[in-house]
Amino acid sequence: MGYDKESKLQTSRKKTVIMVPYPAQGHVTPMLNLASCLTTYGFKPLIILPEFIHRSIFAKVNAASKGEIDCKSIPDGLDETEPRDFFAIEMAMEDHMPAHLDRLIRNLNDDCNGDGDGVVACMIVDVLASWAINVGKQRGIKLVGFWPAMLATYSLFSSIPQLVQTGHISDSGLPKLQGHISHLYQPPLKIEDLPWLIGTQGAKIARFKFWARTMERSELLRCILVNSFPNETQSGINSSKWASNQINGPKIYPIGPLRSNGLCESPSFWKEDESCLDWLNQQKPNSVVYISFGSWVSPIGEAKVRNLALSLEELRKPFIWVLGPSWRNGLPKGYIERVENFGKIVAWAPQMVVLRHVAIGCYLTHCGWNSTMEAIECKKTMLCLPVAGDQFLNCEYIVNVWKIGVKMSGVCFADVSDGINRVMEDRSMKKRIEELNEKVMGEEANLKTKNDMLFFVNDVMRDQLLSTN
């Protein structure tokens, strides 16, 4: 199915696509990449961001996209100094942001110049920002979901009712059985590694309620764009087969992995320390360990930060470690000065530039989905230390399905030394990640992704899929 003249004429009107990401770097980045992609089909993306994020990236997005992507801010109701953790953001999304989004949409429609078809083509909502679904439905806007991670994690969250019914978890999401679960041909996952089981028992129950509500709301969506690739596993869930079996569920479009597509490197919320690039230029090829545990959940904890730091010091292998100031309390006194001859610690790094560098030999990662895809794109094998959320399932694919990484059992010297040596010296692992890179990002994969995107665009413009009834 191609992109015909009729659709081309319709998209030439520059219809607005409202886009609502979940307010975290790992969600805003793929949403911006999707927005960049949509501009090539004649749409005008409008990203809705809380004020604290809007201030950080608006100028960068506007400059990089040459005004093709617009960003508007809405208040989140949180005090400027208040930490924006999972629960604070959930409260803001549920209690404060809907009314402001509704007002913004009304103003947008009031400002349109008499276009009989309306100014908004559709609203694309990050599934984790499900609060926006009801706003769009009340305004009669066509609704599209966006899942910024792999399809396997979406299918896992979708199975919550089955996990309750089969007695794996209670009605409040807590484990009732021990051992592993195997769902939809996925690799077995320890029950205690289910994505909502983070923190105290009260926190686990609250996170489970968030996910149960999120997945219930997502049933109102007729389709979901998934930031993953067709047949995302070599063994395991087949995305096309799984999607075809979802008779009552949303239609699935695997349109990933999404990349910047003209936005250069997607803008960071934080200032990047580019001094690490000069340092990298002085290192030997394939000699440096790059360490980063992402931006959303808290890193591995102060005790593990300390133990990892001491292990790296004893190993004396060159490393770059992304570690924000608030987590440096875990470092031993005088540590940064002691390791300056072979180690570089920065608050934030230009990650894709670092990963592409010839000096990087492996990536010690929390296994976030964006980081996983970036590692595959840059052909860097991974040393895995998942922290929370979908990272445990991503780790299972990295280690046991794709076999392009090793899971660390701890951060003592023996664990760190053994893991780094295995990942950096295993030639068959390096060959596998090169093969996976071609499958995920090669010419055939890119063609399939473009075709899925064309199917979606045609469905939106012809109104075949997204009825608001």
Type of residue found at 102 = D
Note the pLDDT of residue 298.
63
**Tokens standing for residue 166:** 């089969």
Whether the pLDDT of residue 327 is over 90: the answer is no
pLDDT at 9 over 50: no
Alpha-carbon distance values, 128 to 125, 172, 243, 248, 466 (Å): 8, 19, 20, 20, 20
Q: Quote the crossing angle between the two packed helices 86-95 and 97-111, to the nearest 10°.
A: 50
Q: What backbone torsions phi and psi does residue 135 show, to the nearest 5 degrees?
A: -60, -50
Q: What is the pLDDT at residue 232?
A: 73
Span 241-261, average pLDDT: 69
For residue range 255-304, list pLDDT tens digits in order.
888 876 655 456 777 788 889 999 999 999 999 999 999 765 566 788 99
Decide if 144 contacts 124 (C-beta within 8 A): yes
pLDDT given for residue 249 in this prediction: 74
Percent of the chain with pLDDT over 90: 59
Instruction: Provide the token pair at 20.
Output: 């609502």
The model's pLDDT over 45-89, given as tens digits with 9 standing for 90+, comes to 999 999 888 888 888 888 888 889 999 999 998 887 777 888 999
Distance CA 286, CA 64 (A): 31
Contact status, residue 131 vs residue 94, Cβ threshold 8 Å: yes
Q: Could you tell me which of 352, 390, 365, 452 has the C-alpha nearest to residue 34?
A: 452
pLDDT at 129: 97
Indicate if the pLDDT at residue 370 is higher than 50. Answer: yes
* 3-state SS assignment for residue 195: coil
Q: What is the pLDDT of residues 113-172, one digit of tens each?
A: 444 445 888 999 999 999 999 999 999 999 999 999 999 999 899 999 999 998 999 999
Q: Determine the pLDDT at residue 2.
A: 40
CB 276 within 8 A of CB 469: no
Burial 252-276 (b: 16+ CB within 10 A, else e): bbbbbbbbbbebeebbbbeebbeeb
* Token couple for 254: 């695997």
Say whether pLDDT at 333 is over 70. Answer: yes
Q: Output the average pLDDT for the chain.
A: 86
Q: How far apart are CA 434 and CA 177, in angstroms?
A: 39
Strands 180-181 and 189-190: antiparallel
Contact 291, 331 (CB under 8 A): no
Domains contained in the chain, CATH given? 5-265+442-462 (3.40.50.2000), 275-439 (3.40.50.2000)
Q: DSSP letter for 83, please.
A: -
DSSP string of 204-257, one letter each residue: HHHHHHHHHHHHHHHTT-SEEEESS-TT--SSS--HHHHHHT-SSS-EEEE--S
Coil, strand or helix: which one is 288? strand
Identify the weakest region by mean pLDDT among 111-115, 250-254, 407-411.
111-115
Contact 257, 228 (CB under 8 A): yes
Q: What is the DSSP string of 33-55?
A: HHHHHHHTTT-EEEEEEEHHHHH
Flag whether pLDDT at 24 surpasses 50. Answer: yes
Q: Answer with the residue of higher pLDDT: 241 or 379.
A: 379
**Are the C-beta atoms of 127 and 133 separated by less than 8 Å?**
no
Q: How many CA atoms are closer than 13 Å to the CA of 418, on its beta-carbon side? A: 10
Give the closest residue to 122 by CA, choosing from 17, 250, 42, 218: 17
Q: Mean pLDDT over residues 290-319, rounded?
A: 88
Is 431 exposed, middle or buried (CB count within 10 Å of its CB: 0-12, 13-18, 19+)?
exposed
Predicted TM-score (pTM) of this structure: 0.88
Please check whether residue 72 is in contact with residue 16, taking contact to mean a CB–CB distance below 8 angstroms. Answer: no
pLDDT the model gives residue 235: 40
Please check whether residue 320 is in contact with residue 296, taking contact to mean a CB–CB distance below 8 angstroms: no
